Amino acid sequence: MITTGTARSGRRSPGVAILGTGSCLPSHVVGNDEVGAAAGVSDAWIRAKTGIASRRRAKPDEATSDLAAAAGRAAMEAAGITGADLSLVIVATSTPDSPQPPTASVVADGLGAGQGTAAFDVNAVCSGFVFALNTAQHILAGSDCAYALVIGADIYSRILNPADRRTAILFGDGAGAVVLGPARPGRGLLAGRLAGFGAERDLIEVPAGGSRLPASPETLDQGLHYFTMNGRGVRDFVTATVAPAITAFIREAGFTAGQLDHFVPHQANGRMLADLSAGLGVPERHTHTTYEDFGNTGAASIPVTLDAAARSGALSDGDLVLLAGFGGGMAMGLSLLRWQHIHPSPRTPHL
């Protein structure tokens, strides 16, 4: 487990804050009737099990980098910077454009980042954005770099089995982004925690397509290129491991759940999130969600939801915000921050 500096530790704040947020959701809306028909379930069944009403799907000619670049551009616009100001671009994704080069390289080039700008991908599946956020914070705090662009982006529609009701109904496509830069006194990222639980890695996986089991006609025939998930196992993991870890993390940072102004969790499943918030003692009104309209967008779900909260005016300067990611690996990423007021436009890009 990796832990970054906490508010209680008394160490000097690294002085890194979120200066702008952005998101991009494909324009094509897919309702429950459409995904339910292939999966053999009804709209009522999907709503009862997940709380999801719709999700977005990328067009055939759209790649993860397209959504990521649009989200990044919106975040830079909100922060008042350009690609030339960036020292670092990190894209968290488990659905990259291709195995090589990094999707972040494509995004950095498309956004006009300079030739010396470091760009790389992070794959911690649905926890990836928080992993990337903590990584970028450390890089900025330990260098003379001024600005970093951190993006979570996934196109899960490309790896779903339409007939698998455990997965096909849950996931949508999208991207969310933040710009990190200098924090004002008393604002910015306060604490972070990253953890992995490799013994439970088979709860969520795409079996084929890598070096252990390369894609072949046989793997395609067996459907091994599809995303698979043990839903009950994931729920048990969140209850037994994630919830206690979040409680301990908040306490060690010197706060209580009741002091949180905003809770932005990974949008895994509406019913799961309701149980998690209730178990933590976080009031429902403080928990931000977007799963109803966008489903589970993987690494994009936290930054998409954070951007929605920022653009709605819900976040005020000095508010205490908890980001909590969890998913394949299994992995968990947590980040606690004091919100630094930004001036986003109400517009969310669509492709």
Tally of CB atoms within 10 A around 94: 24
Cis peptide bond prior to 330, omega within 30° of 0: yes
Tally of CB atoms within 10 A around 200: 18
Burial 238-247 (b: 16+ CB within 10 A, else e): beebbbebbe
State the DSSP code for 259: G
The residue whose two tokens read 């649905």 is 126
Q: What proportions of the chain, in percent to the nearest 5, are helix, strand and coil?
A: 40, 25, 35
User: Could you give the CA distance from residue 47 to residue 59 in angstroms, rounded to a whole number?
Assistant: 25
What is the SS3 assignment for 9?
Answer: helix
User: Could you give the CA distance from residue 140 to residue 120 in angstroms, rounded to a whole number?
Assistant: 15
User: Could you give the CA distance from residue 172 to residue 290 in angstroms, rounded to a whole number?
Assistant: 11
Q: Which residues are catalytic?
A: 126, 266, 296
User: Could you give the CA distance from residue 42 to residue 48 in angstroms, rounded to a whole number?
Assistant: 10
Which CA distances in Å does 117 have to 120, 145, 179, 260, 348? 10, 10, 14, 35, 26
The residue whose two tokens read 């102004």 is 261
Instruction: Give the end-to-end CA distance of the chain in Å, rounded to a whole number.
Output: 38
User: Could you give the CA distance from residue 332 to residue 325 in angstroms, rounded to a whole number?
Assistant: 6
Residue 140's H or E segment, with its range, is: helix 128-141
Tokens of 302: 């936290």
